[in-house]
């Protein structure tokens, strides 16, 4: 194990996963591709602007792909890439640990 | 899946895991209990003060336990708790994803 190499890659992964709502977006996309509006059903408290920002970041990171269909109205779909699907065990492991070990009352959500 | 409940627990887990060096400390402790000085061999660039801070946070979170032995000189050992050992699949999954999918040259380590 090269610990010097380990840290930057671990930190990069955490950087991507650590932004608020990112885990949820990935989790929702694990159920298959989604249109922009479909996210809202599962995350009603998130503004369009913030959702757009997160989707853009995930697209820039190569975790999701955004497809625009030339229909009327224009249809925009989001889907996990191979890199994004590879996050499934990560998100699942974080979630499982959080559910088992983190009490809601000790939760900080100001991030 | 209760998505409203999911987020705070996921975020709490990410909060703990996301601080620089935390993943490495947990990883080192997966190899068994360690004395303070023993961490340095594997993370030579981290100051005593920062290492102490991280260990204290992990202790406060119930992830590690700190034991002081009344010897001369005093011996202090750190060990993962059950909650901490439960992080093994999480840290391993994050690390594996980072190694496979994150290029070192795109890494941001200013965190």
For residue B85, the chain A residue with the least C-alpha distance is A97
Q: Which residues contact B79 (CB under 8 A, 6 or more apart)?
A: B29, B32, B33, B34, B64, B65, B67
Class level of CATH domain A3-103:
mainly alpha
Residues of A with CB below 8 A from B14's CB?
Answer: 14, 17-18, 23, 94
Share of chain A above pLDDT 90, in %: 49
Fold of B8-19+33-103: Arc Repressor Mutant, subunit A (1.10.10)
How do strand A75-80 and strand A34-35 relate by DSSP bridges?
antiparallel
Which pLDDT band, with edges at 50, 70 and 90, does B2 fall under?
Answer: low
Residues linked to residue A79 through DSSP beta bridges, in sequence order: A65
Domain boundaries defined on chain B: 8-19+33-103
Q: What is the pLDDT of residue A83?
A: 94
Whole-number pLDDT of residue B110: 47
Q: What is the pLDDT of residue A104?
A: 60
pLDDT in tens, B57-79: 999 999 999 999 999 989 999 99
* Closest approach of B18 to chain A, Cα-based (Å): 6
CA distances from A65 to A13, A25, A59, A69, B76 (A): 18, 13, 6, 13, 50
Contact B12 A107 (CB under 8 A): yes
CA nearest A93 in B: which residue? B90
Query: Which residues of chain B make contact with A98, given a CB cutoff of 8 A?
Result: 9-13
Whole-number Å distance between alpha carbons of A59 and B107? 17
Total-model pTM: 0.75
- The mean per-residue pLDDT over the stretch A64-73 comes to 94
Residue A105 has pLDDT above 60, yes or no: no
pLDDT digits (tens, 9 = 90+) for B12-27: 888 888 888 888 899 9
pLDDT bucket at B32, cuts 50 / 70 / 90:
very high
Residue A7's pLDDT is what? 66
Which chain B residue lies closest to A31 (C-alpha atoms)? B1
Average pLDDT for residues B33-61, to the nearest whole number? 92
Q: Residue B7 CB: number of other CB atoms within 10 A?
A: 22
User: Which of B34, B98, B111 to substitute to test the interface with A, most A CBs within 10 Å?
Assistant: B98
């Amino acid at each position: 194990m090269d610990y010097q190499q380990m840290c930057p890659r671990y930190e990069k992964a955490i950087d991507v996963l650590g932004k608020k709502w990112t885990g949820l977006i990935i989790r929702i996309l694990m159920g298959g591709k989604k249109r922009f509006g479909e996210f809202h059903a599962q995350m009603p408290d998130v503004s369009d602007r913030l959702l757009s920002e997160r989707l853009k970041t995930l697209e820039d990171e190569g975790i999701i792909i955004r497809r625009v269909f030339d229909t009327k109205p224009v249809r925009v779909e989001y889907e996990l890439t191979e890199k994004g699907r590879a996050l499934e065990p990560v998100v699942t492991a974080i979630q499982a640990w959080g559910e088992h070990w983190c009490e809601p009352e000790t939760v900080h959500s100001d991030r």
